[in-house]
Chains A and B, each alone.
Chain A
């Protein structure tokens, strides 16, 4: 088992090197489709990948908190600038909670996190008509383990582009 996994990892490493060299030759973002944050600097400006990889689509919260941290407001400032530059996008702000809360409270907590995020972007000049919010409470974790290393990824507000871009 261990050997197989190691072999697979090695193969993936080779594939990634190949993809990078192709990008260097062709200079097209299409070659990189789905390659992830590590190489997405070449994503088409104004694309959803550009937003996710170069701006950051999510902000994180402390336990049971809706306070925007310095890191969160820095990300939201970048989001606001990007959304100003590409005004044809509408988007949904998803509020999420970690599993250390009761289900219904977490729906309300996720709604609060989405609302706080929306208010911040509105204060940075983004029209409310472009934004909708939804709470998923603790129903859609992205990381599943029993400690803070997962919980802090799950306490989040994610800006999901919905409308067509420019």
Chain B
């Protein structure tokens, strides 16, 4: 499975038999939807408390919606006892700390057959314990649902402190469960709308450095930062292309904001749209061939799809209200958006042709969805307005769940990065 780099080595444990689940969550997402219950036995040798691998894993799975963890008895699963419990799968394993190092292994069993369906061993630094828990959770999620994992991933967001009239905004990065927050800017400049590359440890964002708002790229590991081009006008709403070699963004000129594409290597800048309109919030399809964006060219904000080379655009939203901040799922099957309508600001998803709209949450004021790396969840921020501030929430694409993501302060503009390598 994941390539774990030098610091974290994983090896598959032999399977007693192939009983791989091949679930399709969309089928399961029908009216009779029930999460798949997994009995999780505390890992032998694990530490106690909320930072134990067992607890981090259980917290992960409890937010996964499609998988429901229930506490199991220590030791190997008692299949006879589990059969009547509703649990379809049982997880057991062990943690072996050894002098700053950590070994962890788990096996996942089908309760009915008693056969092993997945197994993995991880050897790493002890400081990677939470990552091991996320990797383990992803392995379980994939084995049970047949879908890719999403737990071993990070989110870039904007940390907000101070009064609303003088809000201090800092770029920050955290694990998807809110742990390990690290600040990427100091708060001496206004920073907004980060976009996390799906391919490199880079984030692009808009900052008011000096007096000119402009788009920047920052390497989250080295801290190296540079302005994307040097335009006299305001540049904003940057998004990486798949592959991370180009950035689509808006450039403001008078009353108009148009979309442009910049090649980060050559700095060549190509105009994508040319309307007397506000064209902004671009998002690439995962194959890089198309861009969905918002435009008020028809009078109010609506979503349009065009070739990634620019040119003619097709409107895809015709529902009640104004549509904005589109985000194309990394799976390619859905576009998430903000919808302003009679019920405030909702977050929804639709197919890329605009059909199948589903509102996941509504109220004042939800904004800015970003997809999990497996396309099954979105994070967005929700702001009660007035003098308060925003917090980040996570929902599944079926709209069955809404979890607050814990952050140290107010938080907005989440951008969900890829599975870690």
Contact = CB atoms under 8 A, between A and B. Distances in A.
A51 to B, nearest CB: 20
A104 B237 contact: yes
Given A111-B257, A134-B213, A135-B234, A103 B385 contact: no
Given A104-B237, A139-B190, A142-B165, A112 B365 contact: no
Contacts of B169: 139
A64 B340 CA distance: 13
A89 interface: no
Interface in B214-266: 234, 236-237, 250, 252, 254-255, 257
A146 B386 contact: yes
B280 A105 contact: yes
Given A102-B338, A104-B193, A104-B250, A150 B367 contact: no
A144 B325 contact: no
A116 B255 contact: yes
A108 B257 contact: yes
Given A144-B387, A146-B385, A112 B368 contact: no
A103 B193 contact: yes
Interface string A144-166: 11100010000000000000000
Which among A111, A112, A146 has the highest number of chain B CB atoms within 10 Å?
A111
A85 interface: no
A139 B387 CA distance: 12
A141 B164 contact: yes
Contacts of B384: 146
Interface string B163-178: 1111101000000000
Given A103-B367, A108-B257, A134 B234 contact: yes
Given A107-B236, A135-B213, A115 B254 contact: yes
Given A115-B254, A134-B234, A105 B301 contact: yes
Contacts of A100: 340, 365
A44 to B, nearest CB: 27
Given A112-B255, A135-B213, A145-B387, A103 B413 contact: yes
Contact of A105 (B164, B192, B206, B324): B324
B278 interface: yes
A109 B164 contact: no
A140 B164 CA distance: 7
A102 B165 contact: no
B386 A145 contact: yes
B213 A107 contact: yes
A119 B296 CA distance: 21
B396 interface: no
A99 interface: yes
A66 interface: yes
A92 B211 CA distance: 10
Contact of A102 (B211, B234, B325): B325
A102 B278 contact: no
B164 A104 contact: no
Interface string A59-77: 0000000100000000000
A100 B165 CA distance: 15
A113 to B, nearest CB: 9
A100 B340 CA distance: 9
A103 B368 CA distance: 9
Interface in B300-337: 301, 324-325
A154 B367 CA distance: 19
B255 to A, nearest CB: 5
Q: What 7 A-B pairs have minimum CB-CB distances, sorted nearest first?
A: A144-B387, A108-B278, A108-B257, A146-B386, A104-B237, A102-B324, A144-B164
25 contacts: A99-B383, A100-B340, A102-B345, A102-B367, A103-B192, A104-B250, A104-B325, A105-B280, A105-B281, A105-B294, A105-B324, A107-B234, A107-B250, A111-B234, A116-B255, A119-B254, A134-B213, A134-B234, A135-B234, A135-B252, A139-B167, A139-B190, A139-B192, A144-B386, A150-B386
Given A107-B206, A112-B278, A144-B165, 16 more contacts: A99-B365, A101-B340, A102-B325, A102-B340, A103-B368, A105-B280, A105-B281, A105-B294, A109-B278, A111-B252, A111-B257, A112-B255, A115-B254, A134-B211, A140-B165, A144-B386
